[in-house]
Structure 1
Amino acid sequence: MTLDAGIVARLPKVDLHCHLIGTVRASTFAELARREGLTLPDSPERVYADCNSLPPDPALYRDTRIPVPQGRSADEPEVSYSLFQLSGWVTEALRDTDDLTRIVYEAFCDAHTQSATRHLEVSIDEPRGRLARLGYPTLVEAYAEGIRLAERDFGMSGRLIAAIDRSRSGEQALAWVRTVVDHPHEYLAGIGLDNLETVGPPERFADAYRLAGEAGLGRTAHSSEHVPGAANTITCLDLLGCDRIDHGYFVLQDDAVVERLRDEQTPMTVISTTSRRSWRPWRRASIAAMLDAGLNVIAASDDPGMFPTTLAAEYGILAGDLGVPYPRLRQMALAGVDACWLPASEKSELRARFERELAVLDAEVAAG
């Protein structure tokens, strides 16, 4: 039986894998880009619409268990702008703390209104350029103000994740995490590891993750997303001490790792939609296999403004395209609560809220 789309839309949700720059609305980018006089290869609206990251060398993926598409897809634009290009332009258009508070608030507003998201954790990048001149304490407070406004207006909760760019050195990453640790903030809950997995192995960042762990911060990392193997995921768990894994599709290459992840029920944030449009069918097939293997996968939005997608759309793909039944989606929603980085008392309150809202949906599903 096909699950009613309205049930999926109203299902209370937690989003644990969402990059702040990737949430920026196309309309907001267009406004800010024109304000700043950015030189772009086309209109701001056009470059946003044509976000499409081209795959790396296909030779890397010739022997994967789930075949990775080797060619282009029918929906690719004639001229593509990668996710990294687009993120760079958006960052360049940001001028001051008001801009930062605005994009955080809009991210939470969209998550609330489009997806029934009750808790959102957004990754923030190490500041560079003119934003860096404002200083980290000023920047993190600007981000936090956006969350406070969302808490007031939407009844949501939220946290920030300090993202390490894995193309940087281990020393640079350690310095960034030391800045975060030396300026603790109630809304900064953890660290993550972003950028292409192929440009920075996780062991490079062991010292940064050790410092974060000593400071009591949550730890996650993109892993087994671009490298066709499971070894990096084991490194992230055992050396970096990660509480969660972002993506993780290529763990399917190793049965022993799959068994461990299933036994330990390691939270894994997954996204069916990606800026690599040709890889979207592979992503969905991989997530279906992860579900079949009993892994603790939790849908997320990643870069919803740029793909574009929403968390509700990601749940809709699971329900509609992959046939995931309501009880499993319900379990996933609660797993998101359990894996979030709220303090214990706030997490308990959030879970109670979910159980109240889910009880209403349970009755509707049972009634048919």
Structure 2
Amino acid sequence: MNYPMTVPKAELHCHIEGAASPSLVLRQAEKYQVDVSSIINGNGKYVWSDFTSFLQAYDLASSVFKTPADYALLSESYFRMLAAEGAIYGEVFISPDHAQAAGLSYRSYVEGLAAGIEQAKEGTGIEGRMIAIGVRHFGAASVERVAKEVVGNPHPLVTGFGLAGDEREGHPANFAKAFRIAGEAGLGLTAHAGEFGGPDSIVAALEFLRVKRIGHGVRAIEDKDLVRRLVDERIVLEVCPGSNTSLGVYSILRFHPVNLLRRAGVRITLNSDDPPFFHTTLGKEYSSVAETFGWSTADQVEVTRTAIEAAFCDDGTKQRLLVRLESADVQ
């Protein structure tokens, strides 16, 4: 599919472990003698059938990244790929729980990822930041532990805190303390909601976690009052259409509410979530949504502008990114 490379793009919602290409995972698996044949087929594509098997494939693919150098390779590879698609900014979710499973300290994990982001920036000019996430189905104590670890080991590229995991487990009220800890330390706040949970999941995240961004959030369309609230409070949705159709939240892109939400005045961004697992990329998200709903180049630029304005980075970086966006030679 062709899309205008000239549209500068920005991404706010991508899990770094979920961004590992099958070819990179195969190389790492060979290095560590890990059998990944159950999750990567002969065509070099990830194999899974439902949300549970997707999570299992995700965890097995993640397990081949064990050292700071492995994580540097992962982040550099992903950010270089983003830049090749015309992205000027990207934020990735990082999972201290996955680092712990690999036997890495939080600090080593972050330093490895940061080194890769810096290398990609040096080579391409792309800016990158990290959002540390707690996993809701691990419980409130686990999420609080992550918040304290992030706040206690500050890093200039870790600028946000979020909540991921199974949305059907754990009420947002349980995580209010963790979000208070992160928010008081100056981290940007976001939470996955309104993907497998309905509008009430989004309302609870807004009420108890005080977030300004919602990961996914698309099921807000089922509640007119909530849509109005999102518009009034200028809440930004990190929308991942390819992910939502792959996981069966919507059957096809044509039925996805991204266009209805945008037309209602909700602030929308486009994102790839776990790109190789869902056979997508950030560029493909922009192009497929634009093609399906008739978005102009100006509409796509507006989506990028929204992402930059909502980004968890300092004002100076935002201004430089906005200048790059406005001065781009967009066809």
The percentage of aligned residue pairs carrying the same residue is 28
**What is the rounded CA distance, in whole Å, between the counterparts of 2:65 and 2:86 in structure 1?**
28
> Is the CA contact (8 Å cut-off) linking 1:272 and 1:284 kept in structure 2?
no
- Structure 1 match to 2:30: 34
Question: What are the equivalent positions in structure 2 for 1:170-319 lying under 5 Å apart?
Answer: 170-227=140-197, 229-274=198-243, 275-276=246-247, 279-281=250-252, 284-319=255-290
| Cα distance in 2, alignment partners of residues 103 and 283 from structure 1 | 33
> Where does residue 92 of structure 1 map in the other structure?
63
TM-score by length of 1: 0.84
Match of 1:65 in 2: none
Shift of 1:172: 1.2
Q: Return 10-19 or 318-327, whichever deviates more.
A: 318-327
Please tell me the residue identity of whatever aligns with 1:100: Y
1:14 aligns with 2:10: yes
Quote how far apart the aligned CAs of 1:20 are. Answer: 0.1
Change (3 A) 1:280 1:38: farther
TM-aligned CA distance change 1:137 to 1:211, over 3 Å: same
- Could you report, residue by residue, the CA deviation over 1:333-367 in whole angstroms, capped at 9, with x for unpaired residues? 1111101111111111111111101xx21xx4xxx
Q: Which residue of 1 aligns with 2:313?
A: 342
Answering whether residue 123 of structure 2 is matched by residue 127 of structure 1, we say: no
Instruction: Write the distance in 1 (CA, Å) between the matches of 2:46 and 2:143.
Output: 32
Task: Give 1:231 deviation, angstroms.
Answer: 1.8
Alpha-carbon distance in 2 for matches of 1:232, 1:127: 23
Write out per-residue CA displacement over residues 215-234 of structure 1, whole angstroms, 9 at most, x where no aligned residue: 0000001111101x212212
Q: Give me the whole-angstrom Cα distance separating, in 1, the residues matched to 2:205 and 2:98.
A: 26
Deviation at 1:82, TM superposition (A): 2.8
Q: Deviations over 1:210-267 (max 9, x none)?
A: 100010000001111101x212212222321112111111111111111111222211
8 Å contact from structure 1 (residues 48, 86) kept in 2: no
Amino acid across the alignment from 1:183: N
- Equivalent position SS for 1:159: strand
Q: Secondary structure at the match of 2:317?
A: helix
Task: Give me the whole-angstrom Cα distance separating, in 2, the residues matched to 1:95 and 1:214.
Answer: 32
Structure 2 residue 20 is matched with structure 1 residue 24: yes
CA distance in structure 1 between the partners assigned to 2:30 and 2:98 by the alignment: 21
Q: What's the secondary structure of 2:277's corresponding residue? A: coil
CA distance 1:170–1:276, shift in 2 (3 Å): same
CA-atom RMSD, angstroms?
2.1
CA–CA separation in structure 2 for the residues paired with 1:12 and 1:6: 11
CA deviations on 1:66-106 (whole Å, 9 max, x unpaired) are xxxxxxxxxxxxxxx83211211122111211100000000
Q: What number of residue pairs does the alignment pair up?
A: 329
Q: Deviations over 1:306-326 (max 9, x none)?
A: 212111110111111121223
Letter in 2 for 1:133: G
Residues in 2 aligned to 1:156 and 1:215: alpha-carbon distance in whole angstroms: 26
Contact 2:8–2:325 (CA under 8 A) maintained in structure 1: yes
Secondary structure at the residue paired with 2:97?
A: coil
> What is the Cα deviation at residue 129 of structure 1?
7.0
Rounded Cα–Cα distance in structure 1 between residues aligned with 2:169 and 2:203: 18
Aligned match of 1:54: 50
Alpha-carbon distance change, 207 to 151 in structure 1, aligned in 2, over 3 angstroms: same
**TM-score, normalization by structure 2:** 0.93
Could you report, residue by residue, the CA deviation over 1:149-194 in whole angstroms, capped at 9, with x for unpaired residues? 0110010111011011111111111011101100111010011111
Deviation of the 1:6 alpha carbon:
4.2
AA in 2 matched with 1:325: S
* Distance in 2 (alpha carbons) for counterparts of 1:167 and 1:47: 33
2:323 matched residue in structure 1: 352
Q: Tell me the secondary structure at the aligned position of residue 275 of structure 2.
A: coil
Comparing 276-285 with 304-313, which one deviates more in the overlay?
Answer: 276-285
Larger radius of gyration: 1
Structure 2: distance between partners of 1:252 and 1:121:
25
User: Matched residues in 2 for 1:38 and 1:138: separation?
Assistant: 22
Report the 3-state secondary structure (helix = DSSP H, G, I; strand = E; otherwise coil) of the residue aligned with 1:167. Answer: helix
The separation in 1 between residues aligned to 2:83 and 2:23, in whole angstroms, is 18
Cα distance change of structure 1 residues 288 and 43 upon mapping to structure 2, 3 Å threshold = closer
Unaligned runs of 5+ in 2: none
Deviation per residue, 1:118-170 (Å, 9 max, x gap): 01100111235765533111211111111110110010111011011111111
Give 1:78's aligned residue: none
